[in-house]
Chains A and B, each alone.
Chain A
């Protein structure tokens, strides 16, 4: 019988030595068994690295599965709601997968590495579900989180940094594209993906070369304002981008106990990811019903008046609060780059159409005493932050 050493305590990522070297605040949390930094020296400065120069985030703990075999495409097409046949080798797809009831289990990215060879990345672990979904398919699913070290390199100067590092031809890489380079005799995969809605890349390499990659990257980025960042700064950028996070905007369906606490892709504004032209995928029947009969919830992006972040607030249809709440805030932040008080929330339909006005009940504390404010908010359609350079190919020097 094959035995495998089980790790005791918390794992360190292959970049840990480099992160520890720049860390001054010693604020770490656990992310799927790994130590991940909340912040390394100053949350705000780290945030501005994302928006003004280049931020480097260690995303090694991100769950990664390798999916291969003759049925890999058919398997993925049954697993996720979008049509994976359209994702050619060298392309990356944002995707969401559901249970039979059409409720979201998680979202993530699927990398079509080479013909018939895929990597699925997500925040949560899903081996049991992926394995159960493999019944009847000729595929193999390998958990490879520990086998791949990964960095997000995000921000307006990120292309210049990587270009300086010698990644020739990167300028031709389109958003959601991936390509391979040689890095000191090891294959380095670079994808133009990220969690910040800005120009940015993700680097994937063998853990043995992790530190060398980090060093090369930071050497190249010295004059481009490169900085390592923690999750707090990334979280602000994530909200500005309007991206969803598990346990924030939705609860993984397999984790919910009470009915009505999970969400469907349609309720999360992901209609564009659901392809009913596919004859069968998990949740198709339930989602078709939902499409016909209407959804219960709607995810909203809110532009809120004032400057008090609406953490954990109830949302009301009108200013007279205390009754008739229509939903609640799931993520909130003051956006320095947009100069907006922004939030993501979930409201019941028919409320929350783009352009609608709603009211948010904000509680805030000043010198121990609590104050309450009803703030008007507008439902917006577009992400709060979406600079043209994000979609530009070539991205151009910055």
Chain B
């Protein structure tokens, strides 16, 4: 670990005139393997390291980062951060004030059993070769794809308030993707979830138990069956979502909407703002009584789990929505202070070269009761949709439209006709208020979203969502 580099950068920033400074030395390793139709599509490893220095000068922010954190370059980078902060003061604003936080010292590492970087390439490739071989045995399948993604991030954080932290997070994931093409239709099924499968804060033991080989044939068969299915009809109906699609539903229509930087207009020009305002705390009826949402950075296995965020604030479990009523935002030391609160510890940066932003931790729906089968069995007439395929939502997180890979008609508590190209649309609060069933712990899964984009320059974060299947009433499906 390189805590001494972070400390040196903080000292240099203070010497250059910073009132507050923090610095992160980050070393990242990643490995990605993709196999398609039993041929290698890509295998690559990447490493990157550097240091980012963030400063406050007279209440104005500056940030600079370098990939050569050695010698005079550290002081030069710290000095540049100070120069940037001084330039920001050209446009007067209320000086930034950070909420108090006790200086943190210590180490933290995400738990795992088997280091996936020590598993042989032969074993990894063999797993994907066998899974895609089994998918290819299904007649009519065009492409059988499998992928493995591994990430390890080591961060050394120091601040001028005395924090000195070293953390290591390890994320591992894998998945399958089956594509069938015929007659102007392209249909896809994924396992365990779309967009590179199921990624978690874990080691090889997580990938080994995903059941890629066991589920390969079913995944491919459904993709082929979708080619001859009927298009999802356009109607207003009862909608049951599997936990995989609920991951996306929570992410887009709750997770982003409760980011306090968006609420305060700090992302207005890029990703947008939010329909939620500070005055909504404790008042806004966001959802039905059955819906409680928690931001939990302490849960094992989540992509949004850590010991401290990138401001040195300890990981927390924060109620966001309690029995349908909005309670609190995910926030930073700056933004929480602006509305008279304390940071919920949600600041994270993408690598060493970007400044930290408010990012989702693990935004989870608290489990209700019953299994997915119970919810479907309790539904007389409606639609069941599974696995996200497409997403779109407006700049205030109000109007959304999401597509899924597959749907079935529910009749008398049973799945009947299969539909292809299903999608649904709604208004965020109307939709969540119509929720009348949330599944229990037995079908609750802690998913990982590896591709959450935000900020300028663009940053990508890996965030978590623990979700259960759920049911919604009077939903418009089949938008054409």
Task: Report if A and B associate in a common complex.
Answer: no
